[in-house]
Amino acid sequence: MGYGAMQLAGPGVFGPPKDHQQAVKVLRNAVESGVNHIDTSDFYGPHITNQIISEALHPYRDGLVIVTKIAARRGADKSWIPALSKEEITQAVHDNLKNLKLDVLDVVNLRGMFHPHHAHEGSIEAPLTVLAELQHKGLIRHLGLSNVTRTQIEEGQRLCEIVCVQNNYNVINRGDDAIIDLLAKDGIAYVPFFPLGGFTPIQSSTLSSIAQILEATPMQVALAWLLKRSPNILLIPGTSSVAHLTENLQAADLVLPPEAIEGLEKLN
């Protein structure tokens, strides 16, 4: 169970958070609770989320993996703008290094043909080649992909080693079922973003009923189902609240009985 840092920025993932000290506290509580994987990006804010991470956690404890993503920038109107040129990719890597106060990035995910929620076809060879060159220079340890199709994953694997894929997936949005199973066979991590529905949280009477029976919250059940779904799934639920952080982490210990799993499978 990891932690997604997107919600540490202000509304619309833009500007500073309403409560800066609370954001710092959430990060410190996450690591103190055993979280060893933080997902972020320098286009959250922009720059602000990474600066909060470094303020809260630097120098980083051994074993903490910080995963970032690139290939977008933010407009003054809070828009999300594709940033896939060699110059933009290179600048993004250096911005992440600077704001996270790192000499080398653990994992950099290349965000595919940029869309906030859905993957779109298109070659990723050019930007991924730039990232691979930066990896060879010692600025990046591992490369991953985000918001990509199966075709793009296959293209990426022909170009370099891919250690993780991060796509939109949850208990009611299961379009990546086949991709998850293929990646599991290759020992590649699958990291579902929006595991709880993202900007539109999951709502389901079935989910609520199962949660009531298990004396858990619907979101805890949704997270527990993802952990049960496949051994290569790594979760990164995000929150700006310490209470919600604790609630999310407790989902790792929630045991779903067969009848609950059967009911959740029918949500797809």
8-state DSSP, 255 = P
Q: Residue 86 has what pLDDT?
A: 97
The pLDDT of residue 200: 72
CATH architecture for segment(s) 3-200+230-240: Alpha-Beta Barrel (3.20)
Tokens of 27: 């990060």
What pLDDT, on a 0 to 100 scale, did the predictor assign at position 215? 96
> What whole-number distance in Å separates Cα of residue 27 and Cα of residue 61?
13
Q: Which residue ranges in the chain fall short of pLDDT 70?
A: 113-118, 268
**Residue 3 falls in the annotated catalytic set:** no
Q: Indicate which residue of 3, 44, 169, 190 is catalytic.
A: 44
Residue 74 is predicted with a pLDDT of: 95
C-beta separation of 163 from 180 below 8 A: no
- What contacts 112, CB < 8 A, 6 or more positions away? 71, 119, 120, 122, 124, 145, 146, 147, 148, 149, 152
Per-residue pLDDT, 54: 98
Cα–Cα distance for residue pair 223/214, rounded to 1 Å: 14
The pTM assigned to this predicted structure is 0.94
Q: pLDDT value at position 268?
A: 67
The pLDDT, as a whole number, for residue 116 is 56
- The 10s digit of each residue's pLDDT in 166-175 is 999 999 999 9
pLDDT (0 to 100) of residue 26: 98
> Residue type at 218?
P
> What are the structural domain ranges in the chain?
3-200+230-240
pLDDT for residue 266: 86
pLDDT in tens, 27-85: 999 999 999 999 999 999 999 999 999 999 999 999 999 999 999 999 999 999 999 99
